[in-house]
Amino acid sequence: MLLVGKYGVVGLLLGSILPTGYSLDPTTHHGVKYDNSNPHTGDFSHELPFHHIHQTHHDLEADDGYSHIRIIFTNDIHAHEEEFSTLGSDCKDADMEEHTCYGGAGRRQTIINRLRAGYKRSLLFDAGDVFQGHAIYNYYRGNASAVVMNAQRYDAMTIGNHEFDDGLKHLANFFEQLEFPVICTNLNFDKVPRLAKLVKKHMYLEEYNIAVVGVTTTTTQFISMGEELDQVEFLDAAEAVQAEIDLIREKYPNILSIFLLSHNGYLQDQDLASKVSGLSFIFGGHSHTYLSVDHPHDPDSRGPYPTAVLDKDNKPVYIVQAKKFGEYVGFVDLTLNQEGRIEWLSGQPVHMSDKIPQDPDMQTLVNTLLEPLHSLRTNPIGKAIPDMRQELCKTGECLLGNMVTQAILDHANEKKRVDKPEADKVDIVLINSDVMRAGIRRGIVYPIDIVNVFPTGNELVEITMTGQEIRQAIEASVTEVSPVDGKKVTGFLQVAGLKVEYEFKKALYSVLVRDPRVPLEKLPNGQVDHKSLKGWKQLDDDTPYTVLATNFLSEGGDHIFPKSYTYHSYGRLSSVLLEHVFREPVLNPKLDHRLYSPS
């Protein structure tokens, strides 16, 4: 397919389609002047002379002996080139009426243009995970991201764990298309010469006399589904960064500043900052963390923007991150003195609300990219009664999890009844909640809504687990600690066929399993009686149960299962859910206390 537009003729490989006002706080900012002299409302909906707002202490045009740099950054875009709803899914009429359509490359482009126009010297960075999370990725396999990022003229990116999901060859193909460097310091690609050539350990920007290093999470080895990952050596992030800083400072003894692009998570960034010396700024990602200049008064914020941590030499390192999907574009304005000390600092994450107009050229490009997906969003296949939010599934029972796991269980048992009447029924469904990447908005359901729930191409697999192994997996999920080896667990299971009583992060009390042959008890009004325990019994440690799980879990992903399992493939999650909606087009899940905390 060829795209012709402002950005030239672009060849695309087609993948398979499937289905402020902040207070100056010397303890937080360590005496660095964080400008609040001209507080503003954060409204970026019209043209603003940014340098008038933000550069009140230094005249940018003057040769004042200081170095002024504006850094614009994004992280965890996850293929969200088009605007999206609060659920991370396609923006619908109801969302437009409620003004809850956010992001998209068109709005990002508008803000990037305005931020660039307001500052003489600016850089644009991305902290990784541009792959996975939207049907556009399923179709273009990252090629759309390359086209958009090149058009937006990024200066550098680091690698996210999801960039590995389609294997190393695919990753190299993607990097080859980029017109800017990829920086990652803690990966050893000695066994993969193509990637060794494409990924830089650091980047030195002569014009600015600064350098950029990069890190990605070492957990990629366990959380990515990509092939040949064993060919890549993941090195300790702090050690690798310090070694590279030492090398850079030896080579450029008068360097002003060193920045880190990090796909390692907010807490890990703070830990790394405290262990190194010679780093000034971390542009982070991976944990999808929203930081606010109004923290702690901003109820959604997880920390201050920027978050300052003292390094090994008691010097501040500043950490920023901008949530996920490009709902925010972050920026930081720095004034460095001749020794590289940050004299003055400002910036904020800019919300990509629907008040921000979409840049027409970029939006045309996005619309062109979206054309092949048109039929996926114009043929209604069903109707959702409630909103089914994805974020709620990470800590407890949720409508989306109940709907999906029940659909899988019903699908499997119906298929077995038809194909092999003598076969054992599937007893239990276990899926990691993070495999669901978006929620479903109430209203008409289109195929793309289903693809957006499961954009990662994960498969369902059938395995046999003993009751004890299932109990260990559930305990790992609800307590966040593996009972087998005491290691931390970060995933949470959504279940069907089980009733689990637990206290989150504390204890597992009981696990009941349902006998699929006993019909569900009904109330006089015809609804299922969720309080009835008829057909439920304690999970027996020695009994083998037939379980449908994601291939990710079965291969030891997120460290939830007590071991890895050999399995046979059952089909793609998105296909199974699509078939379910074709059969039962009204989606109206209820909470039934299958994951129940008594307190």
Q: How far apart are CA 442 and CA 440, in angstroms?
A: 7
Residues of the shown chain interacting with Zn ion in the complex, contacts defined by CB under 5 A? 129, 160-161, 286
What six digits make up the tokens of 96? Answer: 């437009």
Q: Which is nearer to Zn ion, 133 or 467 (CB)?
A: 133
Q: Which is nearer to Zn ion, 547 or 553 (CB)?
A: 553
- Beta-bridged to residue 203, according to DSSP, are 212
CB contact at 8 A, 169 and 227: no
Q: Which is nearer to Zn ion, 286 or 580 (CB)?
A: 286
Task: Give me the least distance between CB of 241 and Zn ion, in Å please.
Answer: 18
| Burial of residue 311, with CB atoms counted within 10 A of its CB: 0-12 exposed, 13-18 middle, 19 or more buried | middle
Task: Give me the least distance between CB of 273 and Zn ion, in Å please.
Answer: 19
Q: Which is nearer to Zn ion, 104 or 160 (CB)?
A: 160
Give residues with Cβ within 8 angstroms of 206, minimum separation 6: none
Long-range pairs of 49-56 with CB within 8 A, sequence gap ≥ 24 = 49/118, 50/114, 50/115, 50/117, 50/118, 50/119, 51/118, 51/119, 54/118, 54/333, 54/346, 54/347, 55/333
Nearest 10 degrees: CA dihedral of 318, 324, 325, 328?
A: -50
Q: Which is nearer to Zn ion, 70 or 286 (CB)?
A: 286
Q: Which is nearer to Zn ion, 163 or 469 (CB)?
A: 163
Task: Give me the least distance between CB of 365 and Zn ion, in Å please.
Answer: 25
Nearest 10 degrees: CA dihedral of 124, 248, 315, 348?
A: 0
Q: How far apart are CA 131 and CA 140, in angstroms?
A: 10
CB contact at 8 A, 563 and 494: no
Q: Which is nearer to Zn ion, 122 or 161 (CB)?
A: 161
Reduced to 3 states, what is the DSSP secondary structure of residue 45?
coil
Task: Give me the least distance between CB of 156 and Zn ion, in Å please.
Answer: 17
- Beta-bridged to residue 586, according to DSSP, are 383
| Burial of residue 420, with CB atoms counted within 10 A of its CB: 0-12 exposed, 13-18 middle, 19 or more buried | exposed
Task: Give me the least distance between CB of 435 and Zn ion, in Å please.
Answer: 14
Task: Give me the least distance between CB of 218 and Zn ion, in Å please.
Answer: 12
Q: How far apart are CA 137 and CA 145, in angstroms?
A: 8
Q: Which is nearer to Zn ion, 19 or 128 (CB)?
A: 128
DSSP codes of every residue in 458-522: -EEEEEEEEHHHHHHHHHHHHHSB-TTT--B----EEEESEEEEEETTTEEEEEEEE-TTSPPPB
Q: How far apart are CA 215 and CA 39, in angstroms?
A: 34
Task: Give me the least distance between CB of 526 and Zn ion, in Å please.
Answer: 45
Q: How far apart are CA 416 and CA 430, in angstroms?
A: 18
Of the candidates 203, 106, 215, 208, the one whose C-alpha atom is nearest the C-alpha of residue 156 is: 203
Of the candidates 436, 440, 429, the one whose C-alpha atom is nearest the C-alpha of residue 458 is: 436
Task: Give me the least distance between CB of 276 and Zn ion, in Å please.
Answer: 21
Residue nearest to Zn ion (CB): 286
What six digits make up the tokens of 294? Answer: 């109004």
Q: Which is nearer to Zn ion, 217 or 257 (CB)?
A: 217
Task: Give me the least distance between CB of 545 and Zn ion, in Å please.
Answer: 32
Q: Which is nearer to Zn ion, 129 or 469 (CB)?
A: 129
Task: Give me the least distance between CB of 544 and Zn ion, in Å please.
Answer: 35
Task: Give me the least distance between CB of 110 and Zn ion, in Å please.
Answer: 26
Q: Which is nearer to Zn ion, 76 or 83 (CB)?
A: 76
